[in-house]
Structure 1
Amino acid sequence: MVDVYLFSGFLGSGKTSLLKKMITELKDKGLKPAVFMNELGSMNFDSEEVGDGVPLKEILDGCICCSGSEKSEAQIQTLLAEEEFDVLLIETTGAAHPIEALDAIFSPLFAERLNFRGIVTVADSKRFMERQQLPPQVRSLFLEQIRHADLLLANKSDLLSDSEQSQVIFEIQQLNPSARIVQTVHAKVPFQLLESMNHQSRGTVAQAPISKLKLQTKIVAFDRPVEREVFEEWLRDLPDTVYRIKGYVTLAGHSYPHSFQYAYGMVQWLPEYMKLRNQIVLIGENLEELVFP
């Protein structure tokens, strides 16, 4: 399995600086990194920072977590098929919600190959101090990126006084009391710190704690066709703590699987016309308590 780290943070927070340092450290350790980058514009100048010899895929002119979701899935699938590597570093656009980005990359086509280690959010300390000056929607996203971090880098701390630094740490802890918070300059942290984040439990069904909300991912495979009525009855009985399901399910009486999407109680089926692995990925809380049809 490939260890996966997702880098989140608002525009200009220092994610690319973190990415460059992690690439260097991984190479020094004899590990081969690969990178998946996202940029809202049609040009991604940050990709030039990755360097030679590092497998790279990117999605431009769209967000990993909305219009670019299908492209993201295709790019990561291609990366896994064409390259051999040990660690996948994902840098999201500054406009991405980390949980939605996670949903976009956890495709049932290859989820069993990914050992998700956690979300690293890089927060601009000075911007955090001045967050009330941001437009409400931008401020909301900025705070959401902080709330869902496993590891939080309070970056650019050198721009603040000692008392301001203490205030930033205190207020960030109120937003996300379970994340480890580290003050940084130029996002400099050792890779060992990332390795210390939550490990994915290993077994036939994968689980990956990813945030203070104790979100998990679980992969469920089906070895035979499923009765649609039985499956949808199971969906209706799901608790509110199951936020998202997607995957491919072969329904009884059909030769090919259906693409399946579930979010906030809404279900969507789309027919496919090729053989695909019958499995779904769930994202939510307390997934180990679920009984599947």
Structure 2
Amino acid sequence: MKDVYLFSGFLGSGKTSMLTDVIRQLKEKGLKPAVIMNELGKLPFDSQAVEDDVPLKEMLDGCICCSGAEKTEAQIQSLLLDSEFDVLIIETTGAAHPVEALDAVYSPLFAEQLNVKGIVTVADSKLWLDRETLTPQIRSLFMEQIRHAHLLLANKIDLLTETQQAQVIYELQGFNPHAFILQTTHGRVPFQLLESLTATSQVDKRDIVSAPISSIHLGSRLVEFTECAFTQQQFEEWVRQLPDSVYRMKGYVPVEGIKNPMLFQYAYGMVQWLPEYVKMPAKLVIIGENVGAVNVIGLDY
């Protein structure tokens, strides 16, 4: 039997940071991981964080729950036939409902080969406190991901005061009393805690509050930069004028005076720049509601 974990969490919560750290721990224990990774956009950005020696299947431009259980089953079947692994990690897009995604994994085709351990949800602690600022549909999805977790990571806890930290844990425990709640930074979770999970294979659909992407209007937009480059100040000035409906951006931005495009990440008003030592394609994925209306003229791309 191969253990299966489903990693859930809203856009920018820290799922990929958790994934890379868990992969590291698995390798240190002599276990072979495999990954199915879902991206909302057409650019496989997050999958670049998975090392080449880890079997990887990608599902782009959609989420596991709405792209059909058949596609998910096919990816799992392919891994079981073509790859040797001990643990399968499925990272859903930030727009996926975790129960619907988990339900897609259960299949008579390989039920005897897989042991589904549970849903691990990464929750942005600051966003939890600011959840009333989200649109009703997005807030519903965000809270559903938390409500159905077997293990809940209160991530980015270092960004809060001690009073705010206590408030987050108290409220999360009341909202999902069945999950073990762990305060984390950078999505770091001890693998022993994951091993202790035991999920139920019986999912009661009456408990699911649906928040389909079609009603949320959540989508992605790919911006490709040509010969231009920006100062970090210029780029961040453009970021500051973006509407609140832009939840997440990630990609590689050409910066004046720097050889390779820099890794740029944005989530809920916070930006991060990291140097990149390999020349990556200068592309940026914008994720949010109605991103087609986002003004990118100021980028001159």
For normalisation by structure 2, the TM-score amounts to: 0.66
Asked whether the 8 Å contact 1:146–1:176 carries over to 2, the reply is: yes
1:153: which partner in 2? 153
Residues 1-293 of structure 1: pairs in structure 2 closer than 5 A: 1-198=1-198, 208-209=199-200, 216=202
Structure 1: how far apart are the matches of 2:60 and 2:70?
13
Alignment-mate amino acid for residue 132 of structure 2: Q
Asked whether the 8 Å contact 1:150–1:180 carries over to 2, the reply is: yes
Local SS of the residue matching 1:216: coil
> Kindly tell me: are residues 242 and 138 of structure 1, through their superposed partners in 2, closer, same or farther at Cα, counting changes over 3 Å?
closer
How many residues were matched structurally? 207
Using the TM superposition, give the Cα deviation of residue 190 of structure 1 relative to its aligned residue in structure 2, in angstroms: 1.1
Alignment-mate amino acid for residue 166 of structure 2: S
Structure 2: how far apart are the matches of 1:114 and 1:51?
23
Using the TM superposition, give the Cα deviation of residue 107 of structure 1 relative to its aligned residue in structure 2, in angstroms: 2.0
Q: Deviations over 1:207-235 (max 9, x none)?
A: x42xxxxx627xxxxxxxxxxxxxxxxxx
Local SS of the residue matching 1:3: strand
Q: Deviations over 1:7-30 (max 9, x none)?
A: 000000000000000000000000
1:256: which partner in 2? none
Gap runs ≥5 in structure 1: 199-207, 210-214, 218-240, 244-293
Gap runs ≥5 in structure 2: 207-301
Using the TM superposition, give the Cα deviation of residue 70 of structure 1 relative to its aligned residue in structure 2, in angstroms: 2.1
1:281: which partner in 2? none
Structure 2: how far apart are the matches of 1:63 and 1:242?
18
Structure 2: how far apart are the matches of 1:129 and 1:119?
22
Structure 2: how far apart are the matches of 1:105 and 1:242?
15
Asked whether the 8 Å contact 1:59–1:68 carries over to 2, the reply is: no
Structure 2: how far apart are the matches of 1:165 and 1:182?
11
Using the TM superposition, give the Cα deviation of residue 52 of structure 1 relative to its aligned residue in structure 2, in angstroms: 1.8
Alignment-mate amino acid for residue 71 of structure 2: K
Alignment-mate amino acid for residue 99 of structure 1: V
Using the TM superposition, give the Cα deviation of residue 66 of structure 1 relative to its aligned residue in structure 2, in angstroms: 1.1
1:265: which partner in 2? none
Using the TM superposition, give the Cα deviation of residue 91 of structure 1 relative to its aligned residue in structure 2, in angstroms: 0.3
Q: CA RMSD in A?
A: 1.6
Runs of 4+ in structure 1 over 3 Å off: none
For normalisation by structure 1, the TM-score amounts to: 0.68
